[in-house]
Amino acid sequence: MNIREIAKKADVSIATVSRVLNNSENVSFVTREKVLETLKRYEFKMDPWAKRLASKRTVTKVFIMISKRIMKQLNSKTGEFYSKVMEGIKNSAKANRTMIETVEMESNLDEDKLKNVNGVLLIGGDTTAEHVRFFKKIGMPLVLVDQYIPTVKVDCVVSNGYDGASYAVKYLLSQHIRKIVHIHGFLNHFGFKDRYSGYVAVMEQIGLLPKSYEYNDDIMEDMKPLVDKMLSVYGVPGAIFASNDSIAMKVIETLEDFHIKIPEDVSVIGFDGTEVGKNFIPSLTTLKVPMREMGSLALKRLLDIVYDQDVYPVRISLFTEFMKRGSSI
Amino acid sequence: MNIREIAKKADVSIATVSRVLNNSENVSFVTREKVLETLKRYEFKMDPWAKRLASKRTVTKVFIMISKRIMKQLNSKTGEFYSKVMEGIKNSAKANRTMIETVEMESNLDEDKLKNVNGVLLIGGDTTAEHVRFFKKIGMPLVLVDQYIPTVKVDCVVSNGYDGASYAVKYLLSQHIRKIVHIHGFLNHFGFKDRYSGYVAVMEQIGLLPKSYEYNDDIMEDMKPLVDKMLSVYGVPGAIFASNDSIAMKVIETLEDFHIKIPEDVSVIGFDGTEVGKNFIPSLTTLKVPMREMGSLALKRLLDIVYDQDVYPVRISLFTEFMKRGSSI
DNA sequence: TGATATGATGTAACCGGTTACAGATAAAGG
DNA sequence: CCTTTATCTGTAACCGGTTACATCATATCA
């Protein structure tokens, strides 16, 4: 049952049916009721591909919301991850006649600003359940990028940190390293939590005691106190698994200050697979996350939600790839 | 740059360009080369929606592969899960002009049978890396349903067992139950493994010793020995978390044979949210998996892979929903 | 050499929607 | 009562592909 058949049944033109379907203004009350009734009676189901194809004639507008904290990093070395994600979003937007506008997550949005916005992408680990609820309440299509909130049913695109971390730890174990420390960021960021869980799961499965330290990358503080504490309490570990490349590089720099050699004394593994990590000396062993794909997939998914009806919310996880390089044996 | 512009540049008709794009037979060598060169030069990118819309004029053929083991269950009480998944697949197929054919996973497929097959859905936890490699080698579009294999990059649709299980355990803890046993199926089935991991993670986080038993539902054996062993070694637990509804119901029946009352003596929680579980006495507390959605999403994803170019393989996880019912306090 | 089969290519209809534009009708204003 | 304006509705072009069918050149064969 397509729009033309509905039009015939309701004795109106296809344009009118389309107008009703899109809540267009200029339809009289009686006509609208008549069409709605017909749509329901014949269980009309919109063809998503036809809609998407036809919709190319209009521009779609999407808000990209990023926390101040991440926005600040965006052009620095530590900001490579989200820069690449943004690249992916922009590519996908260009290919889909979509206008994107970057907005600070902290700014409060009145209805006016959101009037002609078709959907929203919430970027990064600072996204909270509150943010999600705000947009869900007003029925705004929504996708979280690099964040997952178990308690809220909402679409998101993340990397598979659990398996990535598990792989890293198993690799180290296969190299006969058993004293493995995990240094991670805030665990309310799902990315960090997920990697942490993968690390802990493998360690405990093998019967080893997980040993982890949280590093607050917000304050950009010196890492010396943390490493100092680790060394004095725990001794020199065989390996350090850091929850991202930035942290891994900081760890390496700090360890070298302590005259500890990488990878001879300690193997260090990062996460993300950034360019800076690759060009770092020593070149960083890491788990590569397809950052551009994360961005483009997220935008694609958002457009699916905007244009297709009854999409069921899902979590989309991207595979990571282990990159053995110079910072580990 | 669309197909018409390419046609103009290459000085051929749009039909010819389409033929080249679809590796149709009837194109002369020189024309094909000319068109291919033009496509490359202008970086032609197919519009997936136009393709999908136009493709409605053809039927797509998809193989649904199920292991003998699951096939046998399909019409029994224990087979509700995959029956519902199949329903979802069929619905989606009907809406997408797709012909599906159910095939035993164990049957060996010669090239002939796969000649006009556009894609394959591999159903259930019996799918192995071998199966995947076979289809990947011949470039066959592929989606796993209710199975995930960390070592192979391939699309799959699964339920989020980790969070579901975590939720169940946390719920029990909130009811002041601390002696929680997990009874699960084969852990090479990702669904069971994932739920197991969620259970273990929460237990260990709280500092409790995880206690789990594997139940082989293949042999359809009596559960008495297993329960007997559990009771003698471990005593009567406060709760049992089973890795699916079928196991949960068997556990309840067996416990009742031991004159243990549900939920007064022991709370039992299942997983899946089947109808039989709902109608069971006592009605089963469980985590509901959107089974039909799992099926329809998998087929949708498969068609995406068949028709859109460069889709990046992902794991799609579905949310579960906790259903508090009579088998638990 | 003329009839017929074969292969390559083009034309136009079609997939199912959206929307610019035109036309009709009714209300408001002079 | 005629003109202007606002509101509603319909027609047809368009989004970017696929494919049935027609056409035409060439090869095959009696």
Determine the distance in angstroms separating the CA of B35 from the nearest CA of chain A, rounded to an integer: 22
Token digits of residue B206? 């709280």
CA separation, residue B148 to residues B79, B139, B159, B243 (Å): 20, 19, 10, 16
Which pLDDT belongs to residue B266?
Answer: 97
- Residue B69: Cβ within 10 Å count: 14
Does any CB of chain A come closer than 8 Å to the CB of residue B150? yes
Report CB contact under 8 Å: B318, A312. yes
Mean per-residue pLDDT for B281-293? 97
- Which residue in this structure is represented by tokens 């930035």? A246
- Which residue in this structure is represented by tokens 């796993």? B144
Answer whether residue B239 shows pLDDT above 80.
yes
Sheet holding B60-66, edge to edge: A98-104, A60-66, A119-123, A142-145, A156-159, A314-318, B314-318, B156-159, B142-145, B119-123, B60-66, B98-104
The pLDDT tens digits for B191-210 are: 999 999 999 999 999 999 99
Largest alpha-carbon pair distance within chain B? 84
* Better pLDDT: B109 or A313: A313
Does any CB of chain B come closer than 8 Å to the CB of residue A197? yes
CATH topology of domain B3-45: 434 Repressor (Amino-terminal Domain) (1.10.260)
Give B262's contacts (C-beta < 8 A, 6+ positions apart). Answer: B252, B255, B256, B268, B282, B327
User: CATH topology of A3-45 equal to that of A60-158+291-318?
Assistant: no
Alpha-carbon distance of B285 to B270, in angstroms, equals 6
- Backbone φ and ψ for A145, nearest 5 degrees, come out as -115, 125
The pLDDT tens digits for B306-327 are: 988 778 999 999 999 999 999 9
Alpha-carbon distance of A242 to A43, in angstroms, equals 53
Which pLDDT belongs to residue A249?
Answer: 96
In 3D space, the residue among B266, B277, B264 whose CA is nearest the CA of residue B239 turns out to be B266
Residue B213: CA count within 13 A, CB half-sphere: 24
Q: Are B101 and B113 in contact (CB under 8 A)?
A: no
Which pLDDT belongs to residue B206?
Answer: 94
Alpha-carbon distance of A159 to A162, in angstroms, equals 9
In 3D space, the residue among B214, B281, B268, B264 whose CA is nearest the CA of residue B240 turns out to be B268
Which pLDDT belongs to residue B219?
Answer: 63
Which pLDDT belongs to residue A57?
Answer: 82
Mean per-residue pLDDT for B236-263? 95
Does any CB of chain A come closer than 8 Å to the CB of residue B86? no
Give A219's pLDDT tier (boundaries 50, 70, 90).
low
The yes/no answer on whether domain B59-158+292-318 falls in CATH 3.40.50.2300 is: yes
Write out which nucleotides of chain D lie closer than 7 A to a protein Cβ: 7-12, 14-20
Q: Omega before B263 cis (within 30°)?
A: yes
CATH number for the domain running over A161-288 = 3.40.50.2300
What are the DSSP calls for B89-153, one per residue? Answer: HHHHHHHTTEEEEEEETTSPPPHHHHTT--EEEEESTT--HHHHHHHHHTT--EEEES---TTS-
- Which residue in this structure is represented by tokens 């193989």? B63
Torsion sign across C-alpha atoms B201, B203, B208, B210:
negative
The pLDDT tens digits for A93-151 are: 988 889 999 999 999 888 778 888 999 999 999 999 999 999 999 999 999 999 999 99
Q: Omega before B237 cis (within 30°)?
A: no
Percent of chain B with pLDDT over 70: 99
Q: Best of A53, A58, A320 to disrupt the B interface by mutation (most B CBs within 10 Å)?
A: A53
Question: Which residue of A lies nearest to B290 if distances are taken between CA atoms?
Answer: A312
| Amino acid in the structure at residue A96 | N
Coil, strand, or helix at residue B211? strand
The pLDDT tens digits for A191-201 are: 999 999 999 99
Give B115's pLDDT tier (boundaries 50, 70, 90).
confident
Alpha-carbon distance of B269 to A323, in angstroms, equals 41
Mean per-residue pLDDT for A9-34? 92
Answer whether residue B70 shows pLDDT above 80.
yes
Q: What is the mean pLDDT of chain A?
A: 93
Alpha-carbon distance of A118 to A138, in angstroms, equals 12
Give B220's pLDDT tier (boundaries 50, 70, 90).
low
Protein residue minimizing CA–C1' distance to D9: A16
Token digits of residue B141? 């579009």
Mean per-residue pLDDT for A68-93? 93
Alpha-carbon distance of A94 to A97, in angstroms, equals 6
Task: With beta carbons under 8 A apart, name residues in chain B contacting A319.
Answer: 153, 313-315
Answer whether residue A87 shows pLDDT above 90.
yes
The pLDDT tens digits for B170-186 are: 999 999 999 999 999 99
Task: With beta carbons under 8 A apart, name residues in chain B contacting A95.
Answer: 45
Determine the distance in angstroms separating the CA of A27 from the nearest CA of chain B, rounded to an integer: 28
Alpha-carbon distance of A298 to A88, in angstroms, equals 9
Which pLDDT belongs to residue A195?
Answer: 98
Which pLDDT belongs to residue B7?
Answer: 95
Nucleotide nearest to A29 (CA to C1'): D8
Ranges A125-134, A223-232, A259-268: which has the least confidence: A223-232
Helices H, strands E: what count in chain A?
14, 12
- The alpha carbon of residue B3 and the mean position of all alpha carbons in its chain are separated, in whole angstroms, by 37
Give B221's pLDDT tier (boundaries 50, 70, 90).
confident
Nucleic strand C contacts from chain B, 7-26, CB < 7 Å:
11-16, 19, 25-26
Domain boundaries defined on chain A: 3-45, 60-158+291-318, 161-288
Cβ-7 Å neighbors of strand D: A 11-16, 19, 25-28, 30-32, 53-54, 56-57; B 2-4, 14-15, 18-19, 21-22, 44-47, 50-51, 53-55, 57-58
Q: How far apart are the first and last CA of chain A?
A: 63
Q: Are A250 and A111 in contact (CB under 8 A)?
A: no
Q: What's domain A60-158+291-318's superfamily in CATH?
A: Response regulator (3.40.50.2300)
Which pLDDT belongs to residue A324?
Answer: 97
Which pLDDT belongs to residue A220?
Answer: 63
